[in-house]
Amino acid sequence: MTQVNRTILIVDDTAVLRNIMKMQLQRMGFFHIHEATDGSEAMKILYAQKIDLVISDWNMPVMNGFELLREIRANEALKHTPFIMVTAEATQDRICMALRLKVDELILKPFTLEILERKILQVIQ
């Protein structure tokens, strides 16, 4: 599947970060990009259509990234969806929690666009 045909969901409560990621994804050749401001909104999108990759912040109101990852991994239809977690708080506990739920990649803030691109390519190939 080419990048053009893949659908990506960006989940972050900060519009600026969503826009930065969206622009980078478009530069990489992804054009089917959806956005959500929290995990609850993301789940509605995930139930409505096929998503090939979720990129989610950890800290968000309503439903955070960890809760979103847990919900996705518990759902038979969604559990194999590739998931990249973005966080500024890379404590050992957080990393272990994410790994237990089989996060595909973890990106630590602040990050460069090169790191974002490398992690995405590792997960989707």
Q: What is the pLDDT of residues 44-92, one digit of tens each?
A: 999 999 999 999 999 999 999 999 999 999 999 999 999 999 988 878 8
Cα 92 from chain centre: 20
Which tokens is 28 given? 């990489």
CB contact burial 65-84 (16+ within 10 A = b; e otherwise): bbbbbbbbbeeeebeebbbb
- Architecture in CATH for domain 3-124: 3-Layer(aba) Sandwich (3.40)
Question: Is the pTM value of this prediction over 0.85?
Answer: yes
Please say whether the beta carbons of 56 and 65 come within 8 A: yes
Q: Where exactly are the structural domains of the chain?
A: 3-124
Q: What 3-state DSSP class applies to 105?
A: strand
